[in-house]
Amino acid sequence: MAAQTLYDKLWASHLVNEREDGTGLLYIDRHLLHEVTSPQAFEGLRLAGRKPWRIDANLATPDHNVPSSIAERRAGVAGIEDPVSRTQVETLDENCAEFGVLEFTINDPRQGIVHVVGPEQGATLPGMTVVCGDSHTATHGALGALAKGIGTSEVEHVLATQCLIQRKLKNMLVKVDGELQAGVTAKDIVLAVVGVIGTAGGTGHAIEFGGEAIRALSVEGRMTVCNMAIEAGARVGMVAVDQVTLDYVKGRPYAPGPDTWDQAEAYWGTLYSDPDAHFDAIVELDAATIQPQVTWGTSPEMVLPVDGLIPAAEDYTDPTHRVAVKRALEYMGLKPGMAITDIQLDRVFIGSCTNSRIEDLRSAAAVVKGKQVASTIKQAMVVPGSGPVKAQAEAEGLDKIFTDAGLEWRAPSCSMCLAMNADRLGSGEHCASTSNRNFEGRQGYGGRTHLVSPAMAAAAAVAGHFVDVRVMVDARESV
């Protein structure tokens, strides 16, 4: 057999049939649902009188609209103050009950951001095809799964048929060799990648992240990298299975038990790209040269190392780029030539499907431990990605470190990543955010988002402006 990439293998093993026009019917192993992109799909099933094809394939949890305020959460769904948000969460509960879909409801200890919950519960596994009505579904590719975001019509299609009509993507390899410097994290890798290839650089491709620096990451770090594949235009991001993956999966609630573990492990061990497999595009980065990254504009590709200076529109030759940079500078209220470290911040957000796992919280806590949030910061919040992450952090005393330092400790939710619940930026406010998108208005009307790693967000909270976390000496060993 010809040498195959990881993506080729996953595609072939799930192909039900292939049509003459080149489209394939792809079998879907796991379907994750949340309240925002599913109501119209369930309604579609009802109107057509259809039933879900394989009910056990589905797992739901509310996350986008769920309040992060611990007080508001106590009363469950009924306690959601915004009536429109409440209706959406209630609708998910009703649909899951009606169709028999397993749901981790608002105050279930397993509830959380769907992309944190899936891997944590062992509900997403190596070798699976995983879909969800959310563009950050590539997160699950960190386990060596073929995971992609879909729209609501496709959510309905997967519910009804357990399949998707797909055209095979091209293969792209992003190879990051070398060793990261202390204080530089998975988030900095992926921001640097987006900076290099641009927000459309991966369009039409499945990106496999490989190389020594990716292998050296934990599964959580790999999730951070795969999570932002879409910010480089790619629906799919993946990392090959290795011992780190197997150790992560073993023993999780929905992972294979003793009866099938050996069979699963043997198969998962084949989930890597063959040495001479063909990639349509290869991008190489040296991890040692990656510095902590900060986005300055309104697209994730508008990113610089922390010691960078804000560019001018005239620095770009392409006219479309020039216009975009000019507009971004106006929106962000920044002047060309200004140092990134001179950007004064109003709020800090640590959370989101990109960076709300336990290692993210440990990294942020190590930076703020024994320090205080700057008096100029109006609000600094930490929103754990799931119930189990929250419980683990509390068991380690991280919540206390955060609250002692003046950060708010909150309940699992997508929160200020996209401001569908009450957490949002005021107009003109600058935020150091560990989320994934810095689009205009994303975190609130007129809000100005700067994407950074959890360690960089924590350092910014203490300083009141961006600062190179590597110079915060006592953070160096623990980040």
216 vs 422, beta carbon nearer another protein: 422
Contact 297, 322 (CB under 8 A): no
Options 12, 46, 56, 391; binder of another protein; rule CB under 8 A: 56
CA angle (76, 447, 82) in 5-degree steps:
25
* Beta-carbon contacts of residue 355 (< 8 Å; ≥ 6 apart): 187, 224, 434, 435, 453, 454
Is 233 a binding residue for another protein by CB under 8 A? The answer is: yes
Supply the minimum distance, in Å, between the C-beta of residue 418 and another protein. 5
Task: State the minimum distance, in angstroms, from the CB of residue 420 to another protein.
Answer: 5
Q: Which of residues 167-186 bind another protein (CB under 8 A)?
A: 167
256 touching another protein, by CB under 8 A: yes
Cβ burial of 327 (10 Å; 0-12, 13-18, 19+) is: middle
DSSP assigned state of 202? T
Q: How far is the CB of 301 from another protein (least distance, A)?
A: 9
Give the binding-site size for another protein (rule: CB under 8 A): 84
Give min distance, CB of 467 to another protein, in A. 29
- Binding another protein by CB under 8 A: which of 73, 430, 437, 450? 437
Does residue 152 touch another protein according to CB under 8 A? yes
What number of CA atoms fall less than 13 Å from residue 391's CA on the CB side?
Answer: 8
User: In the complex, what is the shortest distance from the CB of residue 7 to another protein, in angstroms, rounded to a whole number?
Assistant: 15
Q: Of the listed pieces 171-179, 227-235, 393-401, 468-476, which binds another protein according to CB under 8 A?
A: 227-235
- Pick from 10, 32, 33, 36: which binds another protein (CB under 8 A)? 36
Distance of CA 236 to the CA centre of its chain: 12
**Least distance (Å) between residue 261 CB and another protein:** 8
For 390-426, give one letter per residue: b (16+ CB within 10 A) or e.
Answer: bebbeeeebbebbeebbbbbbbbbbbbbbbbbbbbbe
Write each residue from 406 to 425 as x if it is in contact with another protein (CB under 8 A), else as -, in one continuous string.
------------xxx-----
Shortest separation between residue 11's beta carbon and another protein, angstroms: 14
The conformational region for residue 49 under phi > 0 = left, psi -120 to 50 = alpha, else beta, is left
Q: How many helices (H) and strands (E) does the chain have?
A: 16, 19
Q: Is 61 in the site for another protein (CB under 8 A)?
A: no
Applying CB under 8 A, among 6, 7, 34, 37 the residue interacting with another protein is 37
| Smallest separation (angstroms) from another protein to the CB of 284 | 24
Q: Does 270 bind another protein (CB under 8 A)?
A: no
Task: Give the footprint of another protein on residues 292-321 (CB under 8 A).
Answer: 299, 320-321
Q: What angle do CA 164, 165, 167 make, to 5 degrees?
A: 120
| 204 near another protein, rule: CB under 8 A | yes
First to last CA, the chain: 44
Q: Which stretch binds another protein (CB under 8 A): 4-12, 186-194, 251-259, 341-349?
A: 251-259
Nearer to another protein, 128 or 306 (CB): 128
Judged by CB, which is closer to another protein: 228, or 365?
A: 228
In Å, how far are 9, 138, 175 from 281, measured between CA atoms? Answer: 18, 19, 11
Q: Sketch the per residue contact string, 316 through 345, with another protein: x for CB under 8 A, - otherwise.
A: ----xx-xx--x------------------
Contact between 203 and another protein per CB under 8 A: yes
CB proximity list for 437: less than 8 A, separation 6 or greater: 231, 300, 417, 418, 449, 451
Q: Does residue 127 touch another protein according to CB under 8 A?
A: yes
Work out how close the CB of 414 gets to another protein at its nearest, in angstroms, rounded to a whole number: 10
Query: CA-to-CA distance for 45 and 152, rounded, in angstroms?
Result: 12
In the chain, % helix, strand, coil (3-state, to 5) comes to 40, 20, 45
238 binds another protein (CB under 8 A): no
- Separation between Cα atoms, residue 244 and residue 117, nearest integer Å: 19
- What's the closest the beta carbon of residue 386 comes to another protein, in angstroms? 17
356-385: contacts with another protein (CB under 8 A): none
The Cβ of residue 64 has, within 10 Å, a number of other Cβ atoms equal to 22
Q: For another protein, which is the closer residue by CB, 260 or 289?
A: 260
Measured from the CB atom, the residue of 215 and 252 that comes closer to another protein is: 252
Query: Looking at 80-88, 335-343, 355-363, 458-466, which segment touches another protein (CB under 8 A)?
Result: 80-88
Name the residue among 144, 129, 295 with its Cα closest to residue 222. 144
| CA 146 – CA 11 distance, rounded (Å) | 8
- 45: amino acid identity, one letter: L
